[in-house]
Amino acid sequence: MRKITFVFIIVLGYIANAQTGIIKGLVVDKQSESPLPGATIELLNVEQAIGVITDIDGYFTLENVPLGRQMIRVSYIGFESITIPNIVVTSGKDAAVNVALIEAFDRLDEVIITSETGKAQAINKLTSVSARQFGVEEVTRFSGGRSDVGRLAANFAGVSSPDDSRNDIVIRGNSPVGLLWRLEGVPIPSPNHYSTLGTTGGPVSALNPNLLKNSDFITSAFPAEYGNAIGGVFDLGFRKGNIDDYEYTGQVGIFTGVEAMAEGPLGKNNGSFLVAGRYSLVSLLGIGAGGTSATPNYYDVSFNVDFGKSKLGNFSLFGIIGFSDIEFLGDDIDEDDLFAAEDENSKADSGFGVIGLKHQINIGSSSFLRTTVAGSFATNEFRADRFIEKNTPQERIIKYTEADNTESRFTFSTLFNSKLSSKSTLRTGVLVENFGIESIARDRTKQPDNDGDGDPDLFTFTDIDENLSIIQPYIQGQFRLTEKLTLNAGLHGQYSTLNEQFVFEPRAGLSYKVNQNHRFSFGYGLHHQPVPLPLLFLNEDVNGELVQTNLDLDFVRSNHYVLGYDVRISKGWRGKVEVYYQDVSKAAVEPFSSSYSSLTEGADFGFENDRVSLVNEGTGFNQGIELTLEKFFSDGYYGLLTTSLFESKYEGSDGIERNTPFNNGYVANLLAGKEFTIGKTKKDVLFFDTKLTVSGGRYFTPVNLEASQSAGFQVLREDLAFSEQNDAYFRWDVKFGYKINSKSKKRSHQFYVDLQNVTNNENIFTRRYNRLTNQVDQVDQIGFFPDFGYRFQF
């Protein structure tokens, strides 16, 4: 359909050869997602008044916009108008903004109600507590973030990172395995390079932030459409490519690698394509990075193809694929290497991919049906050959550990959303996931020498080729009881074909908006999640026969309770306080008196392989208070202070209450940044960002040195599980750079240097038994590390 743009305010003047850019986007009804033709968009705080209205499909293009950070107001008769600040306009790329307006409680035909918007509120309208949105600028802006979504989230209240070498995140004391990753509405495997079966993090992210649109991060009491998680949710989406012009980006960075990206229009119905590929820079340079002297090799490709609007609705095709490998040679490994040992040669390979087709069609003016089908896979292989009696005449090498895991997944998701009135919205749907798991894993650790060859036997602790399905129906609604009071309520169901278990999960959230500056909220949710797959399929030797004795384990169960208070302190400033309590039951523990619990697993590359015949009798709890003080970017600067005081405890089958390894006690982050406009036209930008993080040390289980020396491998004091605590964590990062907007052409450049851990603080990574020295070594996390980046857009 031909795009018609009506200019309602004529630009008063135009200076020849002035540097300007473009803001474009789409305006929809937030409840029904129907386009709003005729909505008004105004550019604020500029000398020359500029404005447009949306076309019949809800699209707009605002031209001749001065470069820099701009603010727009979007309004529509009978809807609450909003202002959107901090839109970055450059000469090398059009700024894209998608806007969702809320219909006024009592629809007014001539009066427009005005409110402000920001990243404080989630995109998903059915969230009441513990949620916020984030965009690509935050992912790439903050110092020390490595353009990584997971590391970005570690800056938010209630979130911490277990160590610097991986991007696992601990949410309110929960193990990282409690996190759900979603892309375009469907669950996906861990989107990280060097990820392993059952984990949710990795050393390097495979998510390219340049493709992300504003997305949600939820830390508790999730709405009913989210299931199979007890810790948190990343609800991500890919943006559309430019529907009018072709644009290109070239980029290089230590961790992000060498990147090329292209986007542009496709067809005649506002279709577009967006594709990007990255390859590791450290591999090209042949150097180590991120805590090891070995050279990591990784690459990924991401894409989103939107076929535009048609009579059959809107179709889009999206996907990511990435592969990684690394080889460690014992003779080249330092004793403080974070990933490898001096007496082993090892190699790790991994792959990850997802491809999906999404369809959405409007049904009338107030409803839509969205359906997504997707396929995904995650693979990892690992082999370690160990030197026996190294550096002696009897030195030999044997295969010590090997693993080959593949998870394939087919996903079907459909939801129906209907805006019943300005006061109520209903959403219902179902998610079906079919998993294919192939895994074989062998290891000699803790094994006897039954064959008499002088070495521990190579025991097969996993050997499976299984299929299982998880089906999740749900229904939820939003009810605006009064102009100030909103109820979000729903019911989620979860069924597993593995043990034929079905659970119902009520969810509810209540929000009371006192006025534009004050809001109180409450949230509750019951959530379930299976124990990690590597634990489910472990073999146990029962009278000489290998039996999978964990298959009948039930879902781990968790209740979330949250109270929140949001305050708009002044223009651009907001504060937030949340108090939460989470009880956990039916965690997997051993059938005899033991300190073990599945709640302590998940912040590393693997899981313990001798935890068999487990039972669902473990418990735990997390409780805490969080404070956020935030200055959104305006007047050339921003600031963010987050503080969390919390407690995370668990009980194994011995009935003793212990710290979880994630019970840091406190975490605080202070981030700030400033931009200076320079040059004759004040269009170039010099920027500075900094981040300071402090937290309590992680709890750990001490090594039993005498037993380890006798056994020849690490033995822990499990009777003292997580009884000792590392020293407090401290890290200071500093980032500075320069943005250049071309004076004569549609081009822009950006350079930055990111100095991570500038004080070279020796934060403790772990204490582990050294088989060569027969002593316990302290291994520190990554010290001072400089990162850099360059971006060219045209």
Q: Give the domain ranges of the chain.
A: 1-117, 232-443+463-793
pLDDT at 117: 57
pLDDT over threshold 70, residue 412: yes
In angstroms, the Cα distances linking 210 to 69, 247, 259, 680 are 18, 13, 10, 30
Residue 437: is it exposed, middle or buried by C-beta count within 10 angstroms (0-12/13-18/19+)? buried
Q: Predicted confidence band at 119 (pLDDT cuts at 50, 70, 90)?
A: low
pLDDT at 111: 44
| CA 228 – CA 178 distance, rounded (Å) | 8
Residue 674: is it exposed, middle or buried by C-beta count within 10 angstroms (0-12/13-18/19+)? middle
pLDDT at 114: 52
Give per-residue pLDDT as tens, 731-784. 999 999 999 988 767 899 999 999 999 999 999 999 999 998 999 999 999 999
- 627 vs 135, more confident: 627
pLDDT at 110: 41
Q: Predicted confidence band at 86 (pLDDT cuts at 50, 70, 90)?
A: confident
- Rg over alpha carbons for the chain, rounded to the nearest Å, is 27
pLDDT over threshold 50, residue 30: yes
pLDDT at 46: 82
State the pTM of this model.
Answer: 0.93
pLDDT more than 90, % of the chain: 80
Residue 63: CB atoms within 10 A of its CB come to 15
**The CATH classification of domain 1-117, taken from the options 2.60.40.1120, 3.20.10.10, 2.40.50.100, 1.20.58.480:** 2.60.40.1120
**CATH number attached to the domain at 232-443+463-793:** 2.40.170.20
Report, as an integer, the average pLDDT of 196-222: 95
Report, as an integer, the average pLDDT of 131-155: 92
Give per-residue pLDDT as tens, 626-669. 999 999 988 899 999 999 999 999 999 999 999 999 999 999 99
pLDDT more than 70, % of the chain: 96
Domain 1-117 and domain 232-443+463-793 have a common topology: no
- 12 vs 595, more confident: 595
pLDDT at 649: 98
Residue 371: CB atoms within 10 A of its CB come to 17
State the greatest distance between any 2 C-alpha atoms of the chain, in Å, as a whole number.
92
